[in-house]
Amino acid sequence: DRVVCLSTDKAAYPINAMGKSKAMMESIIYANARNGAGRTTICCTRYGNVMCSRGSVIPLFIDRIRKGEPLTVTDPNMTRFLMNLDEAVDLVQFAFEHANPGDLFIQKAPASTIGDLAEAVQEVFGRVGTQVIGTRHGEKLFETLMTREERLRAEDMGGYYRVACDSRDLNYDKFVVDGEVETQADESYTSHNTERLDVEGTIAKIKTAEYVQLALEGREHEAVQ
């Protein structure tokens, strides 16, 4: 009866292949809702970085520390949203329970700079230094979870935002409005303007990730032996 599709902050103003493909997925969901959704309610969640998911940076940092190698950072001033796996699952569950066709759900998430994240991981696992290697193709200085256009349709639901589907079609004669038309909010919801964690706050956040907890337990076990 309900389908929840998982998207990414990279789908907002996309500049790389992953973001563009996820943005197309979102567009198909919205088109389905506009064209008369049937028995199945299809909605979408949009994530920031799920800490320690496959290919993410924290496991890479921990691995380099264990090898005694410096942490490589593309730009220490970059910011990224941080959420753990439990929060990601909770967001999907919330979407299952509250979705209308075409809804987009976003968690209110904190963020940290990549420089502070590297510092936090070293505070927990050991200091090896940081090497700045420069921004790669397809990377942004900050990520966007909700665009300026979407913020106009956003409903604050406590720990989450619900962005209703834009139900307008291409028959512009139906949408004649007198006076000034507001098309976007003053700013997007980004990893630059959300709650910013300092190093201490980032340490507390990464310790909520099961991967980090298991890595710490493994280090303690090695120390005992």
Confidence at residue 89, expressed as pLDDT on a 0 to 100 scale: 96
Q: Which is nearest to 46 in space by CA: 77, 76, 14, 74?
A: 14
Instruction: Give tens-digit pLDDT for 128-155.
Output: 999 999 988 888 999 999 999 999 999 9
Token pair belonging to 155: 């409903």
**Model pTM score:** 0.89
Evaluate whether 122 touches 57 at the Cβ level (below 8 Å). no
Average pLDDT value over all residues in the chain: 91
Confidence at residue 224, expressed as pLDDT on a 0 to 100 scale: 40
- Nearest-angstrom CA–CA distance, 68 and 70: 7
From the candidates 10, 22, 140, 205, which is the catalytic residue? 10
Beta-bridge partner residues of 199: none
Instruction: Give tens-digit pLDDT for 210-221.
Output: 999 999 988 654
Q: Is 10 a catalytic residue?
A: yes
Phi, psi of 224 (to 5 degrees): -65, -45
Token pair belonging to 78: 């970059």
Q: Which CATH number characterizes residue 131's domain?
A: 3.40.50.720
Using only the alpha carbons of the chain, give its radius of gyration.
20
pLDDT at 4 over 50: yes
Lowest mean per-residue pLDDT among 91-105, 120-134, 169-183, 205-219:
169-183
Token pair belonging to 76: 């220490």
Q: How many domains does the chain have?
A: 1
Question: Quick one: three-class SS letters along 136-184?
Answer: CCCCCCCCEEECHHHHCCEEECCCEEEECCCCCCCCHHHHCCCCCCCCC
Phi, psi of 4 (to 5 degrees): -115, 120
Domain containing 126: what range? 2-224
Instruction: Give tens-digit pLDDT for 11-35.
Output: 999 999 999 999 999 999 998 888 8
Confidence at residue 132, expressed as pLDDT on a 0 to 100 scale: 95
pLDDT band at 225 (very low <50, low <70, confident <90, very high): very low
